[in-house]
């Protein structure tokens, strides 16, 4: 196994740097061109989701690369996610995703949020009356069926707190291979990493730069004076320091850039070396519950208030 990969609990290997494809602008051409640039630089792991609307662009770009023999399907790692409105029937949800991607299988299929929605709910921020009670046991049974049918090589979860991981493990026949959560130097997920580590669940870090430009994110991480000063000392950039921090915790990092220079900058974070002093300084950074926590949880009408315990893990 190469040192830029991790072996998941099911035996499947996953490249440690993944390209995120969520963009609120959702421009198909830009997404496809970013994927072609990323493939050229060595990216092999691509992260999408039905709700992002980026599945057709990801699928199309990868299909072109495969048919031009620039890459083999077996060398790619493609992740997508089950949206809340498909919790009732994960197999159909995944079949739709595969049609969107024009692919025969996924490498990883994740339960996007521990949130169930009415089958007709269409938007990322649903209306209050579109929520249903989460029946995790039946959703997970559907995910296991996806695996059994060979529609994906591994299954996992996303945005699951340690409490929800424990609940899931009470009835799961297949342990999730991955828990994809927001993680960066200002949301370090120490407790969650420990719980997942005990059960050999790989923690994958999304928004590893703090999600600048997104409604829930900010530049607080990459603008932080500590991150800036470590970067200066190491002759690196603040985003590289943030990414290297995530990798040093044994996590994969799912970072989004559609810009050629930043795509390259992020990919070479694998080569950066930080020392114990750098890590100690990062461990002292204030953790944020700001932005994302307020945005999703403190508003009593927020659809995502049911995942309050993910924020409580931080304490």
Ligand X SMILES: NC(=O)c1ccc[n+]([C@@H]2O[C@H](COP(=O)([O-])OP(=O)(O)OC[C@H]3O[C@@H](n4cnc5c(N)ncnc54)[C@H](OP(=O)(O)O)[C@@H]3O)[C@@H](O)[C@H]2O)c1
Task: Give the catalytic positions in this structure.
Answer: 52
From the list 92-100, 186-194, 209-217, 271-279, the region that binds ligand X by CB under 6 A is 209-217
Binding track over 133-172 against ligand X, x by CB under 6 A: -------------------------xx-------------
Tell the smallest beta-carbon distance from residue 168 to ligand X (Å): 16
Which residue has its beta carbon closest to ligand X?
A: 20
Binding track over 226-265 against ligand X, x by CB under 6 A: -------------x--------------xxxxxx--x--x
Question: Phi/psi at 240 (nearest 5 deg)?
Answer: -65, -40
Structure tokens at 302: 């927020």
56 contacts 82 by C-beta, under 8 angstroms: no
Out of 80, 85, 162, 266, name the contact with ligand X by CB under 6 A. 266
Tell the smallest beta-carbon distance from residue 124 to ligand X (Å): 10
Q: Does 311 bind ligand X (CB under 6 A)?
A: no
255 contacts 266 by C-beta, under 8 angstroms: yes
Residues in CB range of 284: below 8 A, 6 or more apart: 226
From the list 57-65, 185-193, 204-212, 279-287, the region that binds ligand X by CB under 6 A is 204-212
Nearer to ligand X, 153 or 218 (CB): 218
222 contacts 255 by C-beta, under 8 angstroms: no
**Sign of the alpha-carbon dihedral angle for 147, 153, 159, 163:** positive
Q: Does 21 bind ligand X (CB under 6 A)?
A: yes
Q: Does 55 bind ligand X (CB under 6 A)?
A: no
Tell the smallest beta-carbon distance from residue 291 to ligand X (Å): 11
Nearer to ligand X, 144 or 214 (CB): 214
Out of 43, 206, 245, 311, name the contact with ligand X by CB under 6 A. 206
Torsion, Cα of 253, 256, 261, 265 (10° steps): -10
Regarding beta strands 116-117 and 108-111, do their DSSP bridges make them parallel or antiparallel, or are they unpaired? unpaired
Residues in CB range of 298: below 8 A, 6 or more apart: none
Residues in CB range of 201: below 8 A, 6 or more apart: 9, 156, 165, 175, 176, 177, 178, 179
Is 112 annotated in a binding site? The answer is yes
78 contacts 38 by C-beta, under 8 angstroms: no
Q: Does 207 bind ligand X (CB under 6 A)?
A: yes
Residues in CB range of 244: below 8 A, 6 or more apart: 236, 269, 270, 272, 273, 274
From the list 9-17, 86-94, 203-211, 307-315, the region that binds ligand X by CB under 6 A is 203-211
Nearer to ligand X, 146 or 296 (CB): 296
In a 3-state reduction of DSSP, which class is residue 79? strand
Nearer to ligand X, 172 or 237 (CB): 237
Binding site for ligand X (CB under 6 A): 20-22, 47, 112, 158-159, 180, 206-214, 217, 239, 254-259, 262, 265-266
Q: Which residues are annotated as a binding site for substrate?
A: 112
């Amino acid at each position: 196994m190469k040192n830029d990969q991790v072996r998941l609990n099911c035996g499947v290997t996953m490249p440690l740097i993944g390209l995120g494809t969520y963009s609120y602008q959702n421009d198909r051409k830009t997404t496809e061109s970013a994927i072609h640039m990323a493939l050229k630089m060595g990216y092999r792991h691509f992260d999408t989701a039905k709700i992002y609307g980026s599945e057709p662009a990801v699928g199309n770009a990868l299909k072109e690369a495969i048919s031009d023999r620039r890459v083999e399907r077996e060398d790619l790692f493609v992740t997508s996610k089950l949206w809340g409105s498909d919790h009732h029937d994960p197999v159909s949800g995944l079949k739709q995703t595969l049609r969107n991607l024009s692919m025969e299988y996924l490498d990883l299929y994740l339960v996007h949020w521990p949130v169930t929605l009415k089958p007709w709910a269409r938007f990322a921020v649903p209306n209050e009356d579109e929520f249903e009670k989460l029946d995790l046991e039946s959703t997970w049974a559907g995910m296991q069926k996806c695996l059994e049918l060979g529609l994906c090589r591994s299954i996992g979860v996303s945005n699951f707190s340690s409490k929800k991981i424990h609940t899931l493990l009470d009835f799961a026949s297949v342990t999730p291979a991955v828990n994809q959560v927001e993680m960066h130097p200002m949301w370090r997920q120490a407790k969650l990493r420990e719980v997942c580590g005990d059960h050999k669940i790989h923690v994958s870090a999304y928004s590893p730069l703090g999600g600048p430009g997104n409604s829930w994110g900010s530049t607080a991480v990459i603008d932080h004076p500590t991150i800036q000063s470590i970067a200066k000392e190491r002759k690196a950039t603040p985003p590289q320091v943030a990414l290297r921090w995530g990798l040093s915790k044994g996590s994969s990092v799912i970072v989004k850039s559609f810009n050629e220079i930043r795509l390259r900058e992020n990919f070479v974070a694998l080569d950066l070396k930080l020392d114990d002093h750098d890590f100690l300084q990062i461990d002292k950074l204030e953790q944020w519950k700001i932005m994302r926590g307020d945005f999703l949880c403190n508003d009593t009408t927020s659809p995502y208030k049911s995942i309050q315990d993910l924020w409580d893990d931080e304490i």
